[in-house]
Amino acid sequence: MAGPKSSSKPSPTSSETSVAVSTLWKSYIDQTPDRLKFIDAFLAFIVLSGVLQFAYCVLVTNFPFNAFLAGFASSVGQFVLTASLRAQVNPENKSEFKEVSPERAFADFALGSIVLHFFVFNFLG
């Protein structure tokens, strides 16, 4: 039986990885508009909220299960709506969203969030 094949490429060392991550972070801080950083912070909060809900369901209890489903669906839905908002207000995507102004994108986001949370509230019973 043949052993595992060794690849000809060496794996990146931790120093190379840390340099790449620090370069990426510096580029993000320097080149990303504040509006997008604010949206990214909200996206991180939504992910953290979803992870905490899922961990609570797995580790503690899932009773009542429909409350977990509603909360988790709310996190996923809000993440999708916020990611869509980020894509529409990103200045680099102006060519893809020619007809959509940032104000219109935010109005769509707000209306979609209201409809999402209406359904989530009704799912709770």
State the average pLDDT for the chain: 90
What was the pLDDT predicted at 63?
Answer: 84
CB 86 within 8 A of CB 36: yes
Tokens of 84: 């869509």
Taking only the tens place, the pLDDT of each residue in 17-41 is 999 999 999 999 999 999 999 999 9
Burial class of residue 85, CB neighbours in 10 A (0-12, 13-18, 19+): buried
Phi, psi values for residue 62, rounded to 5°: -115, 20
Q: How much is the pTM?
A: 0.82
- Taking residues 50-75, report their average pLDDT: 91
What was the pLDDT predicted at 64?
Answer: 85
Q: CB atoms < 10 A from the CB of 99, how many? A: 5
Report the distance separating Cα 69 and Cα 122, nearest Å. Answer: 12
Report the distance separating Cα 69 and Cα 125, nearest Å. Answer: 12
Q: CB atoms < 10 A from the CB of 109, how many? A: 19
Taking only the tens place, the pLDDT of each residue in 94-108 is 999 989 999 999 999
The two counts, helices (H) then strands (E), for the chain are 4, 0
Distances (CA, A) of 92 to 32, 79, 97, 121: 10, 21, 10, 36
Q: Grade residue 14 by pLDDT with cuts at 50, 70 and 90.
A: confident
pLDDT at 56 exceeding the cut of 90: yes
What was the pLDDT predicted at 61?
Answer: 86
Taking only the tens place, the pLDDT of each residue in 63-77 is 888 888 999 999 999
What was the pLDDT predicted at 12?
Answer: 67
